[in-house]
Amino acid sequence: MSESQKVEQAWETPSAEEIVTLTAAHVAAMETMDIDEVWQQAGMHHVMIRTVGRKSGKEHKVALPFWRDPDGHRIVVASYAGAEKDPSWFVNLSDTTANPEVYVRVQGGEFWSVPEILDGDDYTTTWAGLVADRAWYTDYQAKTARRIPLVRLPETRPV
């Protein structure tokens, strides 16, 4: 990647309740506008993903910042600001029976993705690159005993 993805944290990490409220508002804006002010928040580009609840069968949408790996694939982080449990979107996405593919909307486009949950050397290398650009994820990892998941969202097929 030639464009720098380094972002210095210039905000206070929101609480879990604030994250839910902020995400709902962000998703609503993403569904109606395609402007930089909506899709680029806090110095980061964002995606909106749609999953299906593994128990409810209901559709869920979430706005997430992404980071591009060296091959240009979007990586999203299931940090939930260092909460003890994985965020619901990740738990749903992990259930490949309910979510063999996820819908991904980006500024100016959309696609279907078969998400890849990173592991092994792929995880280690990707995590190192991510935290070099976005150091606060190291702080989030220090808050929780779980390993914060990383998910690659390849553009599997067009919508």
**Rounded alpha-carbon distances, angstroms, from residue 65 to 21, 35, 96:** 16, 15, 22
Q: Which residues of 109-144 are buried (b: 16+ CB within 10 A; e: fewer)?
A: eebbbebeebeeeeeeebbebbbebbebbeebbeeb
Query: What pTM, to 2 d.p., does this model score?
Result: 0.92
The tens-digit pLDDT sequence of the chain (159 residues) is 457 888 887 667 778 788 888 889 999 999 999 999 999 998 899 999 999 998 898 999 999 999 999 999 999 999 999 999 999 999 999 998 888 999 999 999 999 999 999 999 999 999 999 999 999 999 999 999 999 999 999 999 999
Q: What is the pLDDT of residue 20?
A: 83
Phi-psi region of 74 (alpha: psi -120 to 50; beta: other; left: phi over 0): beta
Bridge-based pairing state of the strands 44-52 and 102-106: antiparallel
User: Residue 2 has what pLDDT?
Assistant: 52
SS percent in the chain: helix, strand, coil, step 5: 35, 25, 40
Which residues pair with residue 46 across a beta bridge? 65
Complete domains list, the chain, with CATH: 16-158 (2.30.110.10)
Q: Which amino acid is at 96?
A: T
